[in-house]
């Protein structure tokens, strides 16, 4: 499948390299606001087309799919353009700023007979599937604690007075929709949508959250999610059942899983060794869904993205975090 990319950051390069390793997708075109940057990346990865005009790129009939890694606030308009030109769209997380955008985009995808995916890499790995099976067999759950706290070098720029996109409401930034969507997506994948959520952020003067704690209430247990781009964590994530606990080294990706018996304290190591670039798993799954027209699995992914976005939108509303696209 021939694909194009929107954006020339490191995440785009990681996707291109994963696509090449997968053997499922071939880079055909690169877009950047700077034609020089587009041409440079296209030449690096042997793509024939380089664009600084999105409309021109969307009209290219050789392109079958597009990977979008533009700033969060631009995802919606970019996705709509390519969907209307009957291109499958893989949009980097967070897929959109709010659920209104999401529902419109999915409708456009359906009307044009194409697929719209969110590139939420952690839920597509083999270890996520292993973890889900273990959760289903673990018996009664009572609590879970997932986290993604990673100090960002862009926070140093923020402290110097700059306003990187990820710390700007105008670009739909903030930690919850950046790092937070990884543990949230894992929770929704494993447990479904919660009955209630309560978000307690550490706000920055720019109007977005730099750190925060999200409490997700389920019937009989609570999942607590910690996320931060202004501090760092060195502890594991855990799921606590009445009989066993599951210990995860990380939520994106889950590299190691330990199943610990409450009574004996014995630990069993689970999980597979993953590719260095774990984006390969989502690429293989997305292309499989397209090639086989697997509407059942696709609908599950749509529901997962919808659920994650409902949670982050609710959490933002609780704290008056308003994005530029919503003003």
Q: CATH number of the domain that 39 lies in?
A: 3.40.50.720
Q: Is residue 255 part of a domain?
A: yes
Range of the domain at 178: 123-280+307-326
Integer Cα distance of 81 and 89 in angstroms: 10
Q: Is residue 301 part of a domain?
A: no
Tokens of 16: 């291109």
Q: Does residue 48 sit in the same domain as residue 107? A: yes
Residue 253: is the preceding peptide bond cis (ω within 30°)?
yes
Q: Does residue 174 sit in the same domain as residue 81? A: no
Q: What is the structure's pLDDT at 26?
A: 97
Give just the sign of the alpha carbon dihedral 74, 80, 81, 87: positive
3-state secondary structure (DSSP) of residue 63: coil
Give the distance from CA 186 to its chain's centroid: 10
Q: Does residue 153 sit in the same domain as residue 274? A: yes
Q: Does residue 17 sit in the same domain as residue 68? A: yes
The DSSP letter of residue 274 is P
Residue 94: is the preceding peptide bond cis (ω within 30°)?
yes
Tokens of 77: 């308009």
Asked whether 323 and 169 are in contact (CB, 8 A), the reply is yes
pLDDT tens per residue, the chain (327 residues)? 999 999 999 999 999 999 999 999 999 999 999 999 999 999 999 999 999 999 999 999 999 999 999 999 999 999 999 999 999 999 999 999 999 999 999 999 999 999 999 999 999 999 999 999 999 999 999 999 999 999 999 999 999 999 999 999 999 999 999 999 999 999 999 999 999 999 999 999 999 999 999 999 999 999 999 999 999 999 999 999 999 999 999 999 999 999 999 999 999 999 999 999 999 999 999 999 999 999 999 999 999 999 999 999 999 999 999 999 998
Q: Does residue 95 sit in the same domain as residue 193? A: no
Q: Is residue 300 part of a domain?
A: no
Q: Is residue 150 part of a domain?
A: yes
Q: What is the structure's pLDDT at 30?
A: 98
Q: Which of 75, 94, 113 is the last residue of a domain?
A: 113
3-state secondary structure (DSSP) of residue 192: coil
Q: Does residue 171 sit in the same domain as residue 315? A: yes
Q: Does residue 104 sit in the same domain as residue 132? A: no
State the total domains in the chain. Answer: 2
Partners of 146 in beta bridges: 225
Q: What is the structure's pLDDT at 159?
A: 97
CA angle (145, 71, 128) in 5-degree steps: 35
Q: What is the structure's pLDDT at 282?
A: 98
Q: Is residue 290 part of a domain?
A: no
Q: What is the structure's pLDDT at 187?
A: 98
Q: Which of 113, 138, 161 is the last residue of a domain?
A: 113
Q: What is the structure's pLDDT at 204?
A: 98
Q: Does residue 133 sit in the same domain as residue 41? A: no
Q: Does residue 220 sit in the same domain as residue 271? A: yes
Q: Is residue 168 part of a domain?
A: yes
Q: What is the CATH number of the domain that holds 184?
A: 3.30.360.10
């Amino acid at each position: 499948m021939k694909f194009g990319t929107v954006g020339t950051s490191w995440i785009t390069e990681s996707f291109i390299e994963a696509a090449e390793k997968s053997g499922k997708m071939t880079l055909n075109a690169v877009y950047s606001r700077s034609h020089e940057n587009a041409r440079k990346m296209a030449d690096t990865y042997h793509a024939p087309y380089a664009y600084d005009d999105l409309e021109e790129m969307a009209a290219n009939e050789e392109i079958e799919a597009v990977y979008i890694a533009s700033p969060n606030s631009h995802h919606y308009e970019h996705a709509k353009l390519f969907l209307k030109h009957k291109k499958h769209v893989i949009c980097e997380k967070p897929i959109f700023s709010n659920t209104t955008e999401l529902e419109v985009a999915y409708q456009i995808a359906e009307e044009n007979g194409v697929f719209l995916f969110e590139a939420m890499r952690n839920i597509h790995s083999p270890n996520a599937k292993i973890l889900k099976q273990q959760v289903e067999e673990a018996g009664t759950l009572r609590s879970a604690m997932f986290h993604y706290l990673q100090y960002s070098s862009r926070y140093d720029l923020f402290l110097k007075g700059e306003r990187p996109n990820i710390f700007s409401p105008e670009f739909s930034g903030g930690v919850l929709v950046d790092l937070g969507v990884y543990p949230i997506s894992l929770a929704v994948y494993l447990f479904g949508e919660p009955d209630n959520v309560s978000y307690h952020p550490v706000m920055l003067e720019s109007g977005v959250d730099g750190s925060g704690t999200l409490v997700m209430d389920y019937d009989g247990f609570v999942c607590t999610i910690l996320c931060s781009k202004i501090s760092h964590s060195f502890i594991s994530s855990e799921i606590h059942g009445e009989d066993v606990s599951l210990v995860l080294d990380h939520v994106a990706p889950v590299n190691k899983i330990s199943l610990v018996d409450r009574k004996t304290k014995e630990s069993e190591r689970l999980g597979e060794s993953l590719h260095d670039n774990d984006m390969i798993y989502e690429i293989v799954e997305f292309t499989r869904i397209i090639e086989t027209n697997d509407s059942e699995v696709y609908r599950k992914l749509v529901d997962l993205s919808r659920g994650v976005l409902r949670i982050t939108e609710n959490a933002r509303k609780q704290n008056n975090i308003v994005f530029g696209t919503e003003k």
